[in-house]
Amino acid sequence: MSLSMYQASIPAFVQMLNNLSAILDKADAHARNREIDPEVLLNWRLAPDMLPFARQIQIAADLAKGAVARLAGVEVPKYDDTEKTFAELKARLAKTATFVQSFKPSQIDGSEDREISLKLGEHAMSFKGQPYLVHFVMPNFYFHCTTAYDILRHCGVELGKRDFIGAI
């Protein structure tokens, strides 16, 4: 099978969204075992001007849903950032994985030259589909997944690289 815009994105998103969900289970168990208020972990940051754990998860999920919707040329669904518990963040990841998996290869493939426009706050960006996926979405997606993992490791949650990469 040839690599394609679908093959380079959807399976990677689904794998990592599921890995994050399993990581959230371990964080939840860690908080219970140590009698840590889950909010402490959900709000932990690696630096005062970095985003907290819960936002890292929300943004990772949003990068996945935004990428597939934009590459397919459909409207990006809006999910409110209201999650206050590990269970709610797991539901956000599951909803995102279901959305991402609802796309067929034929909706994503051939999107290399599709014009993609997005706004980050006040900052408007435009790309072709391929550099959008390769140079913007994937590094950003893995950035937020990794930073979520790094926050939990920094807080002592027992995780290893295999939790991040998952079963291949």
Please, which residue, 18 or 85, has the CB nearer to its own copies?
18
Please, which residue, 73 or 156, has the CB nearer to its own copies?
156
Q: What is the DSSP letter of 48?
A: T
Residue 87 Cβ, how far from its own copies at the closest point, in Å? 25
Closest to 164 measured CA to CA, from 43, 60, 70, 88: 60
124's enclosing H/E stretch is: strand 123-128
Please, which residue, 88 or 112, has the CB nearer to its own copies?
112
Residue 27 Cβ, how far from its own copies at the closest point, in Å? 14
Please, which residue, 11 or 77, has the CB nearer to its own copies?
11
Residue 150 Cβ, how far from its own copies at the closest point, in Å? 5
Q: How far is CA 110 from CA 66, 128, 153, in A?
A: 17, 11, 39
C-alpha span between 43 and 52 (Å, rounded) = 5
CB-based burial label for 134 (10 Å; 0-12, 13-18, 19+): middle
Please, which residue, 107 or 147, has the CB nearer to its own copies?
147
Q: Which residues bind its own copies (CB under 8 A)?
A: 1-5, 7-8, 11-12, 15-16, 46-47, 50, 112-113, 125, 127, 130-131, 133-136, 138-140, 142-143, 145-147, 149-150, 153-154, 156, 161, 164-166, 168
Residue 46 Cβ, how far from its own copies at the closest point, in Å? 5
Residue 90 Cβ, how far from its own copies at the closest point, in Å? 20
C-alpha span between 54 and 16 (Å, rounded) = 16
State both tokens at 50.
């970095």
